[in-house]
Amino acid sequence: MKTDLSSYNNDWYQPGGRLKILCWYFINVFFFINPLNFSSRLKVFILKRFGATIGAGVVIKPGVNIKYPWLLTIGNHCWIGESVWIDNLDQVTLEDHVCISQGALLLCGNHNYKSTRFDLFVAPITLREGSWVGAKAKVAPGVTLESHAILSMGAVATSPLEAYGIYQGNPAVKVKSRQFN
């Protein structure tokens, strides 16, 4: 068997109306991806107008790319660092006090390499209270970081991370437990 991309069809995937997606595309480019916009308050305001649920004290740094804000929930006092990409083809939920560091990628979709048609699949991502995604780290579709879990810099989470675990590598493996002073 060989891959046959001519038979690829993801018509089943409808994340929103075409006009809504088009409007968001330009807003995202001018106000989010654009590194010159430093105003978290303006970004939060815009995200809410596009259907995101956002708590108090949220900081969104410049250069952030968000695919579909209507599939985004952010709790209280979360921080989203420079150049983070939230490719939320499915629901992304950040509970309270979550940190996503610079250049991290949250990826809710992929393609089925076992299918000759290269079918799209999507799954939600959940970052539980106090969890932290390190700089340049990646979170795969369907992954949950449990309470206060840490995905270290450059690591790749392809399966759930247990509470208070510190994970490194690709694929990420637990190296120790998180301790607070």
For 68-103, the pLDDT digits (tens) are: 999 999 999 999 999 999 999 999 999 999 999 999
Q: Report the pLDDT value the prediction gives residue 181, as an integer from 0 to 100.
A: 86
Q: Report the pLDDT value the prediction gives residue 178, as an integer from 0 to 100.
A: 95
DSSP annotation string for 95-127 = -TT-EE-TT-EEE-EEE-TTSTT--EEE--EEE
CATH topology of domain 17-175: UDP N-Acetylglucosamine Acyltransferase; domain 1 (2.160.10)
What's the CA gap between 133 and 126, in Å, rounded? 12
What's the CA gap between 132 and 4, in Å, rounded? 39
3-class DSSP state for residue 77? coil
Give mean pLDDT, residues 32-51: 94
109-111 and 120-122: which strand pairing?
A: antiparallel
pLDDT averaged over every residue in the chain: 96
| Band (3; pLDDT cuts 50, 70, 90) | confident
Q: Report the pLDDT value the prediction gives residue 2, as an integer from 0 to 100.
A: 87
Q: Which residue has the higher pLDDT, 37 or 24?
A: 24
Copy the structure tokens of residue 137.
């780290």
What's the CA gap between 56 and 74, in Å, rounded? 9
The structure's pTM equals: 0.95
Domain boundaries, the chain: 17-175
